[in-house]
Structure 1
Amino acid sequence: MARILVIDDDPDIRGLLTTYFQGIGHQVFVAEDGAHGIGVAAQRRPDVVILDVDMPVLNGHSTLHVMKNDPKMSAIPVVVLTSRDDELTRERLHRAGCADFLGKPFELNALDLAVANSLKTSRG
Protein backbone atom coordinates (compact mmCIF):
# COMPACT_ATOMS: atom_id res chain seq x y z
CA MET A 1 0.00 0.00 0.00
CA ALA A 2 1.32 3.42 -0.97
CA ARG A 3 0.45 6.90 0.26
CA ILE A 4 -0.52 8.98 -2.79
CA LEU A 5 -1.06 12.74 -2.83
CA VAL A 6 -3.22 14.11 -5.66
CA ILE A 7 -2.75 17.85 -6.29
CA ASP A 8 -5.32 19.04 -8.83
CA ASP A 9 -7.79 21.92 -8.88
CA ASP A 10 -10.44 19.80 -10.65
CA PRO A 11 -12.70 18.13 -8.04
CA ASP A 12 -13.76 15.48 -10.59
CA ILE A 13 -10.13 14.42 -11.15
CA ARG A 14 -9.45 14.39 -7.39
CA GLY A 15 -12.56 12.27 -6.83
CA LEU A 16 -11.81 9.85 -9.67
CA LEU A 17 -8.22 9.29 -8.58
CA THR A 18 -9.19 8.96 -4.92
CA THR A 19 -11.82 6.33 -5.74
CA TYR A 20 -9.51 4.45 -8.09
CA PHE A 21 -6.39 4.35 -5.93
CA GLN A 22 -8.29 3.66 -2.69
CA GLY A 23 -10.09 0.87 -4.53
CA ILE A 24 -6.79 -0.89 -5.20
CA GLY A 25 -5.58 -0.48 -1.64
CA HIS A 26 -3.69 2.81 -1.51
CA GLN A 27 -4.12 5.67 0.94
CA VAL A 28 -4.94 8.92 -0.87
CA PHE A 29 -4.59 12.54 0.21
CA VAL A 30 -5.84 15.44 -1.91
CA ALA A 31 -5.10 19.13 -2.36
CA GLU A 32 -6.80 21.64 -4.63
CA ASP A 33 -3.73 23.75 -5.40
CA GLY A 34 0.04 23.69 -5.11
CA ALA A 35 0.27 25.74 -1.92
CA HIS A 36 -2.08 23.37 -0.09
CA GLY A 37 -0.34 20.39 -1.71
CA ILE A 38 3.07 21.41 -0.41
CA GLY A 39 1.63 21.61 3.10
CA VAL A 40 0.03 18.19 2.79
CA ALA A 41 3.24 16.71 1.35
CA ALA A 42 5.33 18.12 4.20
CA GLN A 43 2.90 16.81 6.81
CA ARG A 44 1.85 13.44 5.33
CA ARG A 45 5.07 12.43 3.53
CA PRO A 46 3.42 10.66 0.58
CA ASP A 47 5.22 7.95 -1.36
CA VAL A 48 4.28 9.61 -4.66
CA VAL A 49 2.57 12.82 -5.82
CA ILE A 50 0.27 13.18 -8.83
CA LEU A 51 0.48 16.84 -9.86
CA ASP A 52 -1.53 19.03 -12.23
CA VAL A 53 0.17 22.01 -13.89
CA ASP A 54 -2.53 24.65 -14.40
CA MET A 55 -3.87 25.50 -10.94
CA PRO A 56 -4.67 28.67 -9.00
CA VAL A 57 -2.59 29.94 -6.08
CA LEU A 58 0.57 27.96 -6.96
CA ASN A 59 0.88 26.20 -10.31
CA GLY A 60 2.47 22.80 -10.91
CA HIS A 61 5.81 24.20 -12.14
CA SER A 62 6.26 26.21 -8.94
CA THR A 63 4.99 23.38 -6.76
CA LEU A 64 7.48 20.94 -8.30
CA HIS A 65 10.29 23.48 -7.86
CA VAL A 66 9.49 23.96 -4.16
CA MET A 67 9.23 20.22 -3.53
CA LYS A 68 12.46 19.31 -5.32
CA ASN A 69 14.38 22.04 -3.48
CA ASP A 70 13.19 21.00 -0.02
CA PRO A 71 15.37 18.23 1.47
CA LYS A 72 12.34 16.75 3.25
CA MET A 73 10.38 16.37 0.00
CA SER A 74 13.00 16.19 -2.75
CA ALA A 75 13.01 12.37 -2.90
CA ILE A 76 9.24 12.07 -3.35
CA PRO A 77 8.55 11.08 -6.97
CA VAL A 78 6.15 13.38 -8.81
CA VAL A 79 4.00 12.20 -11.70
CA VAL A 80 2.67 15.16 -13.68
CA LEU A 81 -0.85 14.79 -15.05
CA THR A 82 -1.84 17.77 -17.20
CA SER A 83 -3.74 19.01 -20.22
CA ARG A 84 -0.55 20.91 -21.23
CA ASP A 85 0.83 18.04 -23.24
CA ASP A 86 3.46 19.72 -25.39
CA GLU A 87 7.17 19.05 -25.79
CA LEU A 88 8.33 22.26 -24.10
CA THR A 89 6.22 21.61 -21.01
CA ARG A 90 7.39 17.98 -20.84
CA GLU A 91 11.02 19.03 -21.16
CA ARG A 92 10.73 21.75 -18.56
CA LEU A 93 9.04 19.49 -16.01
CA HIS A 94 11.46 16.61 -16.55
CA ARG A 95 14.39 19.01 -16.04
CA ALA A 96 12.70 20.23 -12.86
CA GLY A 97 12.59 16.67 -11.54
CA CYS A 98 9.27 15.04 -12.36
CA ALA A 99 9.43 11.25 -12.45
CA ASP A 100 6.86 10.85 -15.23
CA PHE A 101 4.45 12.90 -17.34
CA LEU A 102 0.99 12.04 -18.68
CA GLY A 103 -1.29 14.22 -20.73
CA LYS A 104 -5.01 14.66 -20.12
CA PRO A 105 -7.19 12.96 -21.13
CA PHE A 106 -5.51 9.91 -19.66
CA GLU A 107 -6.17 6.24 -19.08
CA LEU A 108 -6.21 5.01 -15.51
CA ASN A 109 -4.04 2.00 -16.35
CA ALA A 110 -1.34 4.30 -17.80
CA LEU A 111 -1.43 6.46 -14.67
CA ASP A 112 -1.36 3.37 -12.45
CA LEU A 113 1.72 2.14 -14.35
CA ALA A 114 3.45 5.54 -14.02
CA VAL A 115 2.77 5.57 -10.27
CA ALA A 116 3.96 1.96 -9.87
CA ASN A 117 7.17 2.67 -11.82
CA SER A 118 7.83 5.80 -9.77
CA LEU A 119 7.34 3.88 -6.55
CA LYS A 120 9.58 1.06 -7.70
CA THR A 121 12.34 3.48 -8.66
CA SER A 122 12.12 5.50 -5.44
CA ARG A 123 12.09 2.40 -3.23
CA GLY A 124 15.09 0.99 -5.12
Structure 2
Amino acid sequence: MARILIVEDDPAIQSFLVETLRAAGHDMLVAGDGQTGVTLAQEAHPDLVLMDLQLPVLDGAAATRLLKSDPATGDIRIIAMSAAATFHLDPALLPADGMLEKPFDLDVLLGAIHGQLVTAGVASP
Protein backbone atom coordinates (compact mmCIF):
# COMPACT_ATOMS: atom_id res chain seq x y z
CA MET A 1 0.00 0.00 0.00
CA ALA A 2 1.42 3.34 1.08
CA ARG A 3 4.41 4.46 3.12
CA ILE A 4 3.23 6.71 5.96
CA LEU A 5 5.41 8.76 8.30
CA ILE A 6 3.97 9.39 11.76
CA VAL A 7 5.51 12.39 13.52
CA GLU A 8 4.15 12.11 17.07
CA ASP A 9 5.85 12.40 20.47
CA ASP A 10 3.18 10.63 22.55
CA PRO A 11 4.12 6.91 22.72
CA ALA A 12 0.49 5.77 23.19
CA ILE A 13 -0.73 7.69 20.13
CA GLN A 14 2.32 6.55 18.14
CA SER A 15 1.59 2.93 19.01
CA PHE A 16 -2.12 3.25 18.19
CA LEU A 17 -1.40 4.81 14.79
CA VAL A 18 1.33 2.30 13.90
CA GLU A 19 -0.83 -0.71 14.83
CA THR A 20 -3.94 0.65 13.11
CA LEU A 21 -2.18 1.60 9.88
CA ARG A 22 -0.04 -1.54 9.70
CA ALA A 23 -3.23 -3.58 10.07
CA ALA A 24 -4.58 -1.62 7.09
CA GLY A 25 -1.53 -2.74 5.09
CA HIS A 26 0.63 0.38 5.16
CA ASP A 27 4.39 0.62 5.69
CA MET A 28 5.22 2.82 8.65
CA LEU A 29 7.99 5.23 9.59
CA VAL A 30 7.97 6.96 12.98
CA ALA A 31 9.59 10.12 14.35
CA GLY A 32 9.21 11.50 17.88
CA ASP A 33 10.04 15.14 17.08
CA GLY A 34 9.65 17.58 14.22
CA GLN A 35 13.30 17.73 13.18
CA THR A 36 13.59 13.95 12.93
CA GLY A 37 10.31 13.95 11.01
CA VAL A 38 11.67 16.43 8.47
CA THR A 39 14.87 14.41 8.06
CA LEU A 40 12.97 11.13 7.59
CA ALA A 41 10.61 12.75 5.07
CA GLN A 42 13.57 14.10 3.10
CA GLU A 43 15.33 10.73 3.11
CA ALA A 44 12.39 8.34 2.60
CA HIS A 45 9.88 10.57 0.72
CA PRO A 46 6.76 8.91 2.20
CA ASP A 47 3.37 9.08 0.50
CA LEU A 48 1.81 10.75 3.54
CA VAL A 49 2.88 12.38 6.80
CA LEU A 50 0.71 12.47 9.92
CA MET A 51 2.17 15.51 11.71
CA ASP A 52 1.37 16.33 15.33
CA LEU A 53 1.55 20.08 15.90
CA GLN A 54 2.86 20.02 19.49
CA LEU A 55 6.31 18.47 19.10
CA PRO A 56 9.70 18.87 20.78
CA VAL A 57 12.81 20.19 18.97
CA LEU A 58 10.81 21.59 16.01
CA ASP A 59 7.04 22.07 16.26
CA GLY A 60 4.74 20.47 13.71
CA ALA A 61 3.69 23.72 12.03
CA ALA A 62 7.34 24.70 11.40
CA ALA A 63 8.15 21.17 10.20
CA THR A 64 5.17 21.28 7.82
CA ARG A 65 6.26 24.66 6.44
CA LEU A 66 9.80 23.32 5.87
CA LEU A 67 8.56 20.25 4.02
CA LYS A 68 6.02 22.13 1.90
CA SER A 69 8.49 24.87 0.94
CA ASP A 70 11.16 22.39 -0.23
CA PRO A 71 10.74 21.37 -3.90
CA ALA A 72 12.03 17.88 -3.02
CA THR A 73 9.30 17.26 -0.41
CA GLY A 74 6.58 19.78 -1.27
CA ASP A 75 4.45 17.15 -3.00
CA ILE A 76 4.20 14.93 0.10
CA ARG A 77 0.67 14.98 1.51
CA ILE A 78 0.59 16.13 5.14
CA ILE A 79 -2.25 15.76 7.63
CA ALA A 80 -1.77 17.95 10.71
CA MET A 81 -2.98 16.53 14.03
CA SER A 82 -3.93 18.51 17.10
CA ALA A 83 -5.84 18.14 20.35
CA ALA A 84 -6.67 21.86 20.31
CA ALA A 85 -10.41 22.41 20.44
CA THR A 86 -10.20 25.42 18.14
CA PHE A 87 -7.99 24.71 15.20
CA HIS A 88 -8.04 26.55 11.91
CA LEU A 89 -6.17 25.44 8.82
CA ASP A 90 -4.59 28.73 7.72
CA PRO A 91 -2.49 28.01 4.61
CA ALA A 92 -0.17 30.92 5.38
CA LEU A 93 0.68 29.54 8.83
CA LEU A 94 0.13 25.84 8.26
CA PRO A 95 0.22 24.63 4.65
CA ALA A 96 -1.03 21.13 5.53
CA ASP A 97 -3.29 19.21 3.18
CA GLY A 98 -5.69 18.14 5.92
CA MET A 99 -6.39 18.21 9.64
CA LEU A 100 -7.37 15.64 12.25
CA GLU A 101 -8.49 16.49 15.75
CA LYS A 102 -7.41 14.30 18.66
CA PRO A 103 -8.78 12.07 20.05
CA PHE A 104 -9.31 10.27 16.76
CA ASP A 105 -12.48 8.69 15.51
CA LEU A 106 -11.16 5.59 13.71
CA ASP A 107 -13.45 5.99 10.69
CA VAL A 108 -12.55 9.68 10.34
CA LEU A 109 -8.83 8.87 10.66
CA LEU A 110 -8.91 6.12 8.03
CA GLY A 111 -11.14 8.20 5.74
CA ALA A 112 -8.80 11.20 5.90
CA ILE A 113 -5.78 9.01 5.19
CA HIS A 114 -7.50 7.29 2.28
CA GLY A 115 -8.62 10.63 0.84
CA GLN A 116 -5.07 12.03 0.93
CA LEU A 117 -3.64 8.86 -0.61
CA VAL A 118 -6.20 8.99 -3.42
CA THR A 119 -5.25 12.62 -4.05
CA ALA A 120 -1.59 11.61 -4.10
CA GLY A 121 -2.38 8.87 -6.63
CA VAL A 122 -1.33 6.09 -4.25
CA ALA A 123 -4.76 4.54 -3.61
CA SER A 124 -7.76 4.01 -5.81
CA PRO A 125 -11.00 5.85 -5.02
SS at match of 2:118: helix
Q: Which of 113, 119, 122 is the aligned partner of 2:120?
A: 122
Over the aligned positions, Cα root-mean-square deviation in angstroms equals: 1.4
Q: After the TM superposition, which parts of structure 1 deviate over 4 Å for at least 4 consecutive aligned residues?
A: none
One-letter identity of the residue aligned with 1:112: L
Residues 1:73 and 2:61 are matched in the alignment:
no
One-letter identity of the residue aligned with 1:97: P
Gaps of 5+ in 2: none
The answer to whether the 8 Å contact 2:7/2:50 transfers is yes
Q: CA deviation at 1:107?
A: 1.1
In structure 2, the partner of 1:112 is 110
Residues 1:26 and 2:26 are matched in the alignment:
yes
Give the whole-Å Cα distance in 1 for the aligned partners of 2:116 and 2:23: 19
In structure 2, the partner of 1:57 is 57
Residues 1:90 and 2:105 are matched in the alignment:
no
In structure 2, the partner of 1:5 is 5
SS at match of 2:39: helix
In structure 2, the partner of 1:44 is 44
SS at match of 1:117: helix
Q: Which has the higher helix share?
A: 1
SS at match of 1:80: strand
Normalised to the residue count of structure 2, the TM-score between the two structures is 0.91
One-letter identity of the residue aligned with 2:104: F
The one-character-per-residue Cα deviations of 1:71-93 (angstroms, maximum 9, x if unpaired) are 1110001011111231xx4232x
SS at match of 2:81: strand
The one-character-per-residue Cα deviations of 1:32-51 (angstroms, maximum 9, x if unpaired) are 01100001111111000001
How many residues align structurally? 121
SS at match of 2:25: coil
